[in-house]
Amino acid sequence: MLLVAKGIAKAYQTGEKPFKVLEGVDLEVREGEIVALLGRSGGGKSTLLRILAGLIPPDAGEVRFRGRPVRGPVEGVAMVFQTFALFPWLSVLENVALGLEARGVPRAERLQKAREAIALIGLKGFEDALPKELSGGMKQRVGFARALVVEPLVLLLDEAFSALDPLTAEGLRGDFLDLWLAGRLSTQAVLLVTHNIEEAVALADRALILQGSPARVGREIPIPLPHPRDPSDPPFRALVEEIYMALTEREVVERHLEEELVRLPEAPVERLTSLAEAMAAHGGRVDLPLLAEEEGLEVDELFPLLEALELLGFARMERGDVELTPAGRAWAEATSKERQVMFAEHLLRRVPLMSRLHRALVERKAVPEERVLEWLRDHLPEPEAKRVLGVIREWGRFAGLLGYDDRARTLFLPEGEASGQSPG
């Protein structure tokens, strides 16, 4: 057993109370395996990975690497990030050698090791290039070389392929897997955070599913397929389906009323309508892997849209499928004006934050944006508060329930809304 986490909890302080992200997380990473960690957007995957790496401390619980407590960055664990995070003024060779320099490795030795890592990851000949001279795929190869040069026993990958175009990502995944299977890496275990289910099934020996809010590891799904793995094979597709089902499992989650008031998924209205129309074209019920493939959506893009449709009462998810409700089917088939009216009715009835804000606008005609943001900050971390404000502003404007003055940064009640009823 190389890496063990027991009872991990993490919360971020907001105005009135902590915003819990993780609670009671247990996991193990063993020698000789690749483990995929999946969960819904904003579910704490990257936070957990940083705790495992010793980059941030947990509020409760403990991480152990080779039996010893992790209380900060430790030798033997390295991380590859989603963003390339290269120093633009340093060459490829200098970027890769930087970690060895920080460990006090003599110059000649660290440059030799850096050259070996660069060659291993397929960048021989680019040692003197600057990051601006590299493609996205080449930059991420530098990121891999920088992590591998310190010869980690455990390699943590935080969405390491997601910033690349599909063809480049597939090439880098394949090269990395070849190195792993050939035993050419010093690394003995890999923990991969990903939102790409096909990527998880292609690479991993098992998948851990973060569920709930705050999140914990709710499911473990073995992936006992031999390499090479063909994404079109029925056993491969069956595992993809099983992971989708795990991600849509319902849990009884205890939340404070105020927390329920402010939780909104990232879901632009035009993408909601497009998705609802696609579902209607399938007769109103569709398999999630099929829907994701046809719409070109990955988990982190698809699930916020589905959660929004479910929140508004237009769809429901169950066992890897999504189905339009009668209201959702009517909304998908409605005219633009009818769609706006229905959206407003459902928004007021089913989204407490919108109904609360709309009542305030009816009473006062206008509310400074900063006042709404201050209230959200009492329940959410700053970035999340701003994100939720953006969602409610877009949804409210589409529904005709509010207007927005960019100069005054003020939300106001549109004409004809003084009665507090939805348009139409």
Span 250-293, pLDDT tens digits: 544 444 444 455 578 889 999 999 999 999 999 999 998 888 88
- Is residue 343 exposed (0-12), middle (13-18) or buried (19+ Cβ within 10 Å)? buried
Span 83-139, pLDDT tens digits: 777 899 999 999 999 888 888 889 999 999 999 999 998 889 999 999 999 988 899
pLDDT of res. 15: 61
Residue 43 above 50 pLDDT?
yes
Q: Could you tell me whether strands 366-368 and 410-412 are parallel, antiparallel, or unpaired per DSSP bridges?
A: antiparallel
Name the average pLDDT for the chain: 88
pLDDT of res. 14: 66
pLDDT > 70 fraction of the chain, expressed in percent and rounded: 94
DSSP 8-state code for residue 297: -
Query: What mean pLDDT comes out for the span 28-54?
Result: 90
Q: Check for a shared fold between 3-247 and 258-333.
A: no
pLDDT of res. 424: 40
Q: For residues 365-376, b (16+ Cβ closer than 10 Å) or e, as one string?
A: eebebeebbebb
Distance of CA 218 to the CA centre of its chain: 17
pLDDT of res. 330: 95
Residue type, position 150, single letter: V
pLDDT of res. 273: 94
| Contact assessment for residue 85 and residue 96, using Cβ atoms and an 8 Å cutoff | no
pLDDT of res. 417: 58
Residue 420 above 50 pLDDT?
no
Residue 263: phi, psi to the nearest 5?
-80, 115
Tokens 């992971």 correspond to 243
Q: For the chain, how many residues are written?
A: 424
- The pTM score is 0.79
How far lies 298's CA from each of 292, 295, 362, in Å?
6, 9, 39
Arch. (CATH architecture) of 258-333: Orthogonal Bundle (1.10)
| Contact assessment for residue 201 and residue 177, using Cβ atoms and an 8 Å cutoff | no
**Domain boundaries along the sequence of the chain:** 3-247, 258-333, 349-424
How is domain 3-247 classified at the CATH fold level?
Answer: Rossmann fold (3.40.50)
Span 216-233, pLDDT tens digits: 998 999 999 999 999 999
Query: What mean pLDDT comes out for the span 138-143?
Result: 90
DSSP 8-state code for residue 345: H
Residue 416 above 80 pLDDT?
no
pLDDT > 90 fraction of the chain, expressed in percent and rounded: 54
pLDDT of res. 56: 92
Span 349-407, pLDDT tens digits: 988 889 888 998 988 888 999 998 888 888 788 888 888 999 999 999 999 999 999 88
**pLDDT tier at 16, thresholds 50, 70, 90:** low
**pLDDT tier at 318, thresholds 50, 70, 90:** confident
Closest among 331, 202, 238 to 279, alpha carbons compared: 331
Report which secondary-structure segment, H or E, holds 113: helix 107-120
Query: What mean pLDDT comes out for the span 71-92?
Result: 88
- Which range has the worst mean pLDDT, 176-190, 240-254, 364-378? 240-254
pLDDT of res. 395: 94
